[in-house]
Amino acid sequence: MTGRPHRVGIFVYDGVTLLDVAGPAEVFREANRFGADYRIVLLSPTGADVTSNLGVRVAVDGGVSSEPIFDTLLVAGSDLYPRARVPAELSDAARIPAAVAGRVASVCTGAFVLAAAGLLDGKRATTHWQVVHELAARCPTCRVEPDAIYVRDGTTYTSAGVTAGIDLALALVEEDHGPDLAREVARALVVYMQRAGGQSQFSAPLQGPPPRSPALRTITDVVTAAPRGDHSLGELAKHLNVSTRHLTRLFRDELSTTPARYVESIRFDMARALLDQGHTATQAATLAGFPSYESMRRVFARKLSISPAAYQRRFSTARRADPG
């Protein structure tokens, strides 16, 4: 960066998620304590103050047409716009400062505002794991990366849900001032400099609707009821009185997976729930039906990029489950 202040504009509007604003702003403010020079400006479409999702009034510094060029424009998110179309006046307002900003970023569902403004066309992007499919539908030319904490495509940055805005802000600080200063900021805020794994580690288990066909719903019920049972392809086919070839085709056509992978996913989700409740990793592996702890560890590494122990340190309840 040059010796002049680095202007960060945070674009807000009625219904904006307050933490999407406060989290990154706190990172930039903290960076100033360690030698950075960020000047944070809150701007709204018209320059009028806005009301956040918590009902808290957010006082802004100006409107999109009254502020000079920003080095970084950060668009905060809202619960409103995955559920409804972004109003044209909002996307148009965001497009004005974005057109001349040095770099443009979004926090969580702020990606929907960028997409509506045409700022994600042909780019890689991410957003909160619960609405990545909706973003892909709204912006068919985007390559939406559902597991990323944040994504950079040129001078455009998008981040995952809510607190991922802090991860993104730290990455921007590191880009501007190097890893040492960013690390000091992370330590001061007691957050990870770079968290392990993607955002799938934060998602709820058993994602997506249940299988449509009664046959596959039966398989789900069988495995869930007795996860430690023999759920080989042959045994599952016997439950339905169908051939192994027919069962494999059902899974491929409806769920785009194999029976073995589906059983593994059910066991994985059960193991996560058991770890969340305070069971040890060995107990979780046994109760969820994994042949061994090592086999469970490999699945966690593949799906979440972290070990069961690391997952439990982040997410388990403080109370130990009764092993019964």
Cα(13)–Cα(23) distance, integer angstroms? 16
Nearest to 27 by CA among 146, 175, 198: 175
Q: What are phi and psi of 188, to 5 degrees?
A: -65, -35
Residues 160/199, Cβ–Cβ less than 8 Å: yes
**Contacts for 287-296 with beta carbons within 8 Å, 24 or more apart?**
287/227, 287/228, 288/227, 289/223, 289/226, 289/227, 289/228, 289/229, 289/231, 296/267, 296/268, 296/271
| DSSP labels, 36-65 | --EEEEEEESSS--EE-TTS-EE--SEETT
Backbone angles phi, psi at 38, to 5 degrees: -95, 135
Cα angle value 165/51/98 (rounded, 5°): 50
Of 105, 108, 215, 287, catalytic: 108
Give SS3 for 159. strand
Residue 119, burial from CB neighbour count under 10 angstroms (0-12, 13-18, 19+): buried
Cα–Cα distance, 189 to 27 (Å, whole number) = 8
Which pair of tokens denotes residue 2?
């040059």
Q: Which residue type sits at 259?
A: P
Q: Is 108 a catalytic residue?
A: yes
Location of structure tokens 């307002």: 93
Task: Catalogue the active-site residues.
Answer: 108
